[in-house]
């Protein structure tokens, strides 16, 4: 979310996400329900239950009522999760904007021209877009470093 202040990007907004982990060694498959934004993701030692996508919510405090709603939604996918042992919660923010910002530019910082590549604002699609946007940002950086004039 620092891009709002760092580069003055007023189009940035948070998407609040809350998940929690349970002990459920019998869960071996991934489940996802787009209707209720519910997902069940087994890991090596526990299972992640999620989630939320609350736009413009900057609160990072765990909400018990949200956990209860997540569990209810996940139990529609895997009813046996109702007996799973709770482990821990996690709340975070996904930095978002109407479209991700992936661009190169020359900025004046402390009176000196600096080459900058922006790559942020992917929101809830961050993990999906990360590989492609990283390649694109790398190509922009290579072009920027190889340029002798600022024709961006």
Our count of domains for the chain comes to: 2
Domain assignment present for 151: no
C-alpha distance across the termini of the chain, in Å: 25
90 and 17, same structural domain? yes
66 and 44, same structural domain? yes
pLDDT (tens digit per residue) in 44-86: 999 999 989 999 999 999 999 999 999 999 999 999 999 999 9
Cα separation, 21 vs 73, whole angstroms = 15
pLDDT score of 7: 86
Domain assignment present for 126: yes
Domain assignment present for 45: yes
User: Stretch 19-32: mean pLDDT, rounded?
Assistant: 97
76 and 62, same structural domain? yes
Query: Is 3 exposed, middle or buried, given 0-12, 13-18 or 19+ CB atoms closer than 10 A?
Result: middle
Displacement of CA 69 from its chain's centroid (Å): 20
118 and 84, same structural domain? no
81 and 123, same structural domain? no
114 and 56, same structural domain? no
Domain assignment present for 3: no
Three-state DSSP at 13 gives strand
Task: With a cut of 70, say whether residue 118 has pLDDT above it.
Answer: yes
Question: Mean pLDDT, the chain, as a whole number?
Answer: 93
Contact 114/83 with Cβ under 8 angstroms?
A: no
Task: With a cut of 80, say whether residue 120 has pLDDT above it.
Answer: yes
Query: Which residue, chain included where needed, has tokens 């922006």?
Result: 118
Residue span of the structural domain in which 71 resides:
13-94
Domain assignment present for 141: yes
Domain assignment present for 34: yes
- What does DSSP assign to residue 128? H
> What is the dihedral sign for C-alpha 129, 135, 141, 147?
negative
Task: With a cut of 90, say whether residue 3 has pLDDT above it.
Answer: no
């Amino acid at each position: 979310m620092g891009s709002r202040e760092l580069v003055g990007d007023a189009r940035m907004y948070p998407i609040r996400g809350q998940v929690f982990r349970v002990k459920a060694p019998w869960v071996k498959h991934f489940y996802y329900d787009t209707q209720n934004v519910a997902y069940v993701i087994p890991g090596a030692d526990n299972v992640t239950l999620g989630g939320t996508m609350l736009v413009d919510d900057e609160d990072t405090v765990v909400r018990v009522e949200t956990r209860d709603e997540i569990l209810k939604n996940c139990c529609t996918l895997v009813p046996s999760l109702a007996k799973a042992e709770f482990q821990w919660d996690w709340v975070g923010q996904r930095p978002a904007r109407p479209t991700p910002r992936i661009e190169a530019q020359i900025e004046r910082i402390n009176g000196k021209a600096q080459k900058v590549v922006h790559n942020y604002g992917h929101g809830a699609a961050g993990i999906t877009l990360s590989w492609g946007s990283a390649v694109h940002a790398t190509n922009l950086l290579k072009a920027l470093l190889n340029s002798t004039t600022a024709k961006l």
